[in-house]
């Protein structure tokens, strides 16, 4: 502390006490945070982690200027001190407060600029796997994100450092059940963007209440966006809707957001280099050939080394699919299964990556134990996501539905499929491809297997799936495979008591089926 003089104390935050200090050699003001450590070992470890944060050099990032460890004799405690830039304009929350008081909406061009800057900075820190918790305003009213966390001294990052603009209202709904990841950050950015778009509509308390409701029901988001669209473009509303998807598996990453035209326009305002970033530019990069003679470990290493290359990932998954149909299946462990899912999520636009991923996972189910991660939400959630990514690809839909049939043999997995929206996706495939007999047969078999579970049977009924089954039987009355599968699905619904919930219209439809 000998190089700084304390000007004033701002208070306490999640990370410790916060001061405005003046550096003695040049008189410039900074923010200094004193973070208490339990012992010297913890302080040294935290200091080493903090030093690594000095590598965060980016135009929209509030980097740390200096770190040092000190012993405070008055309280007999070790502290790590973090020195960072001082922003006279405060954080984004201060700007929003002023706008609320004047009930003045933020101009869309300004909002668009800030959104682009936040996403650019977020994409950068996500690559570094760094925690952040605040957004500051520079004197030129550009964005700067900061308050980067140091794991050792942060403790439970889910409840301490991951509060955007100091409020738990911005935490993603899934963080109580799973580790915080970059898509949870996207939820927080969605909350920030919604707040920027509604500062002329809601006061702070109303906004907080609305965000709590949105975490539980997407209809509340629709209500807010109806108000937003009175002032802002529908394209902005679409971006907010994507970021605030309740299903974390459907929520985009920062780099996936870049594919949205509105976001690209937002990035262009600040001449972001991300505008020129194209994953396709990397698809033809191939450092080394696929090591087919090195088993599963060699294939996994190849995928990791060439992960940005769609061609490389596609080739590797095709080889894994071949391996999964042979005795080599036993060498494909949990790490490989997780990497398959990661590849499918990162290359959602590649139809073949999705197909090979689904086929490989399906092959691996043969002989899998009930406790296998194949039957976990971690794996299952990618299947409906793949179906939604390519709703017009009958080959992909067929591979995905076939995988769902195999997964649904496990009762818990079956209910997980229902909770992930898999039943709605199957019904969507039926409605979109009424003439594809092979696909319809598999869809009906999937419904037959899934509706053994009462919650799933209820979903089919609520989604008006019975008329779809009736329609299939009428359109394909000459195809015994299709009719038998549809009839089996109906029977499963009846056995779960769905008959009692059927409308008179549905019963009328059944009475007019001729097979």
- pLDDT of 364 above 80: yes
Same domain, 110 and 183: yes
pLDDT, position 129:
60
- Burial 206-231, CB ≥16 within 10 A → b, else e: ebbebbeebbeeeebbeebbeebeee
- Burial 396-433, CB ≥16 within 10 A → b, else e: bbbbbbbbbbbbbebeebbbbbbebbbbbbbbbbbeeb
* Residue 192 neighbours by CB distance under 10 Å: 22
Cβ contacts of 348 within 8 Å, gap of 6 or more = 256, 354, 385, 386, 389
Q: Which of 69, 85, 101 is a domain's end point?
A: 85
Same domain, 21 and 131: no
pLDDT, position 352:
96
Same domain, 392 and 480: yes
The answer to whether the beta carbons of residues 411 and 372 sit under 8 Å apart is no
Show the tokens assigned to 58. Answer: 């980016």
With respect to residue 375, please indicate whether it lies within any of the assigned structural domains: no
d(CA 8, CA 376): 52
Same domain, 213 and 342: no
With respect to residue 350, please indicate whether it lies within any of the assigned structural domains: yes
Per-residue confidence band for 169, with pLDDT thresholds at 50, 70 and 90: low
With respect to residue 373, please indicate whether it lies within any of the assigned structural domains: no
Per-residue confidence band for 102, with pLDDT thresholds at 50, 70 and 90: confident
With respect to residue 146, please indicate whether it lies within any of the assigned structural domains: yes
Same domain, 144 and 285: no
Strands (E), 38-174: 64-72, 77-85, 134-137, 143-146
* Residue-averaged pLDDT of the chain: 82
Q: Which of 223, 257, 272 is a domain's end point?
A: 272
Three-state DSSP state, 252: coil
d(CA 465, CA 459): 9
Per-residue confidence band for 361, with pLDDT thresholds at 50, 70 and 90: very high
* Residue 393 neighbours by CB distance under 10 Å: 18
Show the tokens assigned to 431. Answer: 């409605």
Same domain, 259 and 287: no
With respect to residue 380, please indicate whether it lies within any of the assigned structural domains: no
Predicted structure pTM score: 0.56
d(CA 354, CA 341): 9
Residue 67 carries which DSSP code? E
Same domain, 391 and 347: no
Q: How many CA atoms lie within 13 A of 402 on its CB side?
A: 20
Domain extent for 249: 92-272
Same domain, 63 and 101: no
Show the tokens assigned to 126. Answer: 């996500």
Same domain, 304 and 359: yes
Strands (E), 86-205: 134-137, 143-146
More confident site: 112 or 35? 112
C-alpha 488, offset from chain centre: 36
Show the tokens assigned to 347. Answer: 């290359």
Same domain, 121 and 241: yes
Q: What is the CATH number of the domain that holds 487?
A: 1.25.10.10
- What does the pLDDT look like over 36-48, one tens digit per residue? 777 767 667 666 6
With respect to residue 178, please indicate whether it lies within any of the assigned structural domains: yes
Domain count for the chain: 4
With respect to residue 488, please indicate whether it lies within any of the assigned structural domains: yes
Q: Is 166 exposed, middle or buried (0-12, 13-18, 19+ CB in 10 A)?
A: middle
Q: Which of 55, 85, 115 is a domain's end point?
A: 85
With respect to residue 378, please indicate whether it lies within any of the assigned structural domains: no
The answer to whether the beta carbons of residues 197 and 106 sit under 8 Å apart is yes
Same domain, 78 and 97: no
> Average pLDDT of 176-202?
82
Q: What is the CATH number of the domain that holds 187?
A: 1.10.510.10
Same domain, 265 and 135: yes
d(CA 378, CA 372): 11
Residue 479 carries which DSSP code? -
d(CA 276, CA 447): 44
- Residue-level length of the chain: 515
d(CA 14, CA 112): 30
Q: What is the CATH number of the domain that holds 58?
A: 3.30.200.20
More confident site: 496 or 408? 408
């Amino acid at each position: 502390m000998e190089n700084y003089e304390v000007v004033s104390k701002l208070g306490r935050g999640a990370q410790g006490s916060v001061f405005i200090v003046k550096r003695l050699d040049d008189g410039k003001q900074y923010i200094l945070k004193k973070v208490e450590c339990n012992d010297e070992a913890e302080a040294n470890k935290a200091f080493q982690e903090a030093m690594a944060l000095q590598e965060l050099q980016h135009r929209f990032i509030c980097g740390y200027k200096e770190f040092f460890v000190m012993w405070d004799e008055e309280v007999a405690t070790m502290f790590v001190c973090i020195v960072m830039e001082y922003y006279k304009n405060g954080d984004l929350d201060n700007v929003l407060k002023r706008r609320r008081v004047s009930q003045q909406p933020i101009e869309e061009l300004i909002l668009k600029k800030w959104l682009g800057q936040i996403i650019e900075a977020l994409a950068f820190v996500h690559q570094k796997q760094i925690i952040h918790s605040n957004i500051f305003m520079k004197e030129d009213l550009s964005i700067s994100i900061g308050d980067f966390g140091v794991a050792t001294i942060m403790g439970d990052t889910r409840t301490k450092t991951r509060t955007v603009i100091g409020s738990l209202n911005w935490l993603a709904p899934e963080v109580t059940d799973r580790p915080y990841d970059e898509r949870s950050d996207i939820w927080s950015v969605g909350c920030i963007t919604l707040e920027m778009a509604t500062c002329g509509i809601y006061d702070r308390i109303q906004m907080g209440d609305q965000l709590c409701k949105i975490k539980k029901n997407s209809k509340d988001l629709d209500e807010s966006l109806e108000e937003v669209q009175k002032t802002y473009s529908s394209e902005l509303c679409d971006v907010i809707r994507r970021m605030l998807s309740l299903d974390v598996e459907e929520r985009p990453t920062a780099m996936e957001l870049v594919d949205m035209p509105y976001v690209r326009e937002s990035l262009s305002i600040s001449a972001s280099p991300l505008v020129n970033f194209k994953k396709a530019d990397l698809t033809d990069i191939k450092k080394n050939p696929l090591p087919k003679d090195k088993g599963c470990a060699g294939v996994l290493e190849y995928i990791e080394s060439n992960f940005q290359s769609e061609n490389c990932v596609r080739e590797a998954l095709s080889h894994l699919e071949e391996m999964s149909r042979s005795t080599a299946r036993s060498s494909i462990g949990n790490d490989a299964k997780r990497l398959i899912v990661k590849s499918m999520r990162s290359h959602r636009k590649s139809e073949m990556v999705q197909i090979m991923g689904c086929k490989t996972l399906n092959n691996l189910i043969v002989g899998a134990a009930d406790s296998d991660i194949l039957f976990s939400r971690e794996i299952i959630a990618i299947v409906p996501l793949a179906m939604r990514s390519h709703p017009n690809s009958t080959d992909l839909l067929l591979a995905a539905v076939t995988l769902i049939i195999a997964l649904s043999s496990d009762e818990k997995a079956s209910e997980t499929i229902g909770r992930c929206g898999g039943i709605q996706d199957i019904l969507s495939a039926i409605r979109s491809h009424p003439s594809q007999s092979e696909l319809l047969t598999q869809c009906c078999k999937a419904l037959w297997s899934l509706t053994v579970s009462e919650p799933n049977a209820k979903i089919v009924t609520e989604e008006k799936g019975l008329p779809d089954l009736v329609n299939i039987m009428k359109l394909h009355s000459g195809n015994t495979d299709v009719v038998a599968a549809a009839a089996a699905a109906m029977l499963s619904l009846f056995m779960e008591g769905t008959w009692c919930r059927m409308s008179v219209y549905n019963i009328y439809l059944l009475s007019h089926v001729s097979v």
